[in-house]
Amino acid sequence: MDVLLVFGTRPEAIKMAPVYRALREGPLRPIVAVTAQHREMLDQVLELFQIPVAYDLNIMREGQSLTQVTGLVLGGLAQVLEEVRPRLVLVHGDTTTTFAASLAAFYQQIPVGHVEAGLRSHDPYNPYPEEMNRRLTGSLAALHFCPTPLARENLCRESVAPDRIYVTGNTVIDALLSIVEEDYQFQDPTLRSLDFAGRRVLVATAHRRENWGGPLRDIMLALKDLADRFPDVEVVFPVHRNPQVREPAQAILGGAPRVHLIPPLPYGEFANLLARCHLVLTDSGGLQEEAPALGKPVLVLREKTERPEGVAAGTVRLAGTRRETVLQEAERLLVDSEEYGRMARAVNPYGDGMAAARIHQALLHYFGLGERPLDFRPGEEG
């Protein structure tokens, strides 16, 4: 009863860690293959959650292209699948690892379980290439683990058989709840030196392909403007290792007063920073799920989101990527405490911390070893 978990980037690892832990309880046997589409950022997570890796394709290259990643994953995984012959392959989300791993499994007629299935922006170039990666993976998958009822509706509209869909909540909430601690002590020297009581700490991240170039520069200029205009604001920006992000970040924000450019933080440090910050500005997918659970308002630095639940709940707002608009939206939250208060409420549209247990139960159900789990319903206890 081997189940092969395949992932390759930081967010996939964070979100698959709870699944690995749940499956380890048996009777299924989880085996982990990493593509290492990311290297250092992946290793940080593997180390934190102590995930033993059986196969490591080690494919990352500096400035890699989508085609390179797809080819290396497809080729590398074919051999692993031939050797392991798992009963099922589990993939996560919308990266190129996700899509190529699903295709590799399909070619060997091994069923695929898709974790975090059914998110849709309905625009193939936004986010790019993730929207298409997710749709293609959905077409290849035999089982779909949807984080929310809306994701389930998206799949039903695409004629996916309802009995192959489980609504589980998002496993990122499981990971987050296991990591955030009230009396956490930061290791990172920048975070240790921040005065969280006396200053308003803004957390910023950006890396999306569709933002490379002009939009990313605009976002960075808006962050600089914010730090200039508000003397009690500190911006913490852990910079993604992609050269397309690192280079403009250094050029525009390097040396800017009260803007802290730091390398990617280990998840424990980052999650606890989120829990203590004032406001989040990001184009990340995962942060749109984590920050609402922690009661932190999020300005999403994108034109579209495949995660509308946070927007509907009122804690997430689409701010776009134009310098003026981002600045305006952030200023509004920094000067208007009532508006800030309306957004800074803890809501859990994405999960209750039990997603991995539901996925485990769903797999047992699929293999005829247990009952179908009850669906996750936002707003109710798990």
242 binds ligand UD1 (CB under 6 A): yes
Q: Which of residues 189-248 bind ligand UDP (CB under 6 A)?
A: 205, 207, 238
φ/ψ of 234, rounded to 5, equals -120, 130
Region near ligand UDP per CB under 6 A, out of 28-36, 160-168, 228-236, 282-290: 282-290
Q: Is 240 an active-site residue?
A: yes
Say whether 182 sits in a helix, a strand or coil: coil
232 tagged catalytic: no
Using CA atoms, how far apart are residues 330 and 326, in angstroms rounded to an integer? Answer: 6
d(CA 1, CA 24): 12
Least distance in angstroms from the C-beta of 247 to ligand UD1:
11
Q: CB-wise, 168 or 272, nearer to ligand UDP?
A: 272
Distances (CA, A) of 202 to 59, 237, 239, 323: 34, 8, 14, 16
Q: Which of 120, 152, 207, 278 is catalytic?
A: 207
Are the beta carbons of 202 and 233 closer than 8 angstroms?
A: yes
Query: What is the helix, strand, coil percentage profile of the chain, to 5?
Result: 45, 15, 40
- How far is it, in rounded angstroms, from Cα 48 to Cα 50? 6
Q: Does 355 bind ligand UDP (CB under 6 A)?
A: no
Active-site hit among 114, 135, 144, 240:
240
137 lines the binding site for ligand UD1 (CB under 6 A): no
For the CB of residue 241, give the shortest distance to ligand UD1 in the complex, in Å: 3
Nearer to ligand UD1, 3 or 119 (CB): 119
Asked whether position 130 contacts ligand UD1 by CB under 6 A, the answer is yes
- Please answer whether residues 14 and 286 qualify as being in contact, where contact means their C-beta atoms are separated by less than 8 angstroms: yes
Question: What CA–CA distance (Å, rounded) separates 377 from 269?
Answer: 30
Q: Is 10 in the site for ligand UD1 (CB under 6 A)?
A: yes
Under the binding rule (CB under 6 A), the answer on residue 243 touching ligand UD1 is yes
**Radius of gyration of the chain measured on its C-alpha atoms:** 20
Q: Which of 270, 350, 366, 376 binds ligand UDP (CB under 6 A)?
A: 270
Q: How far is the CB of 292 from ligand UDP (least distance, A)?
A: 13
Single out the catalytic residue among 164, 209, 241, 246. 209
Binding residues for ligand UD1 (CB under 6 A): 9-11, 37-41, 60-64, 66, 69, 94-96, 129-130, 207, 241-243
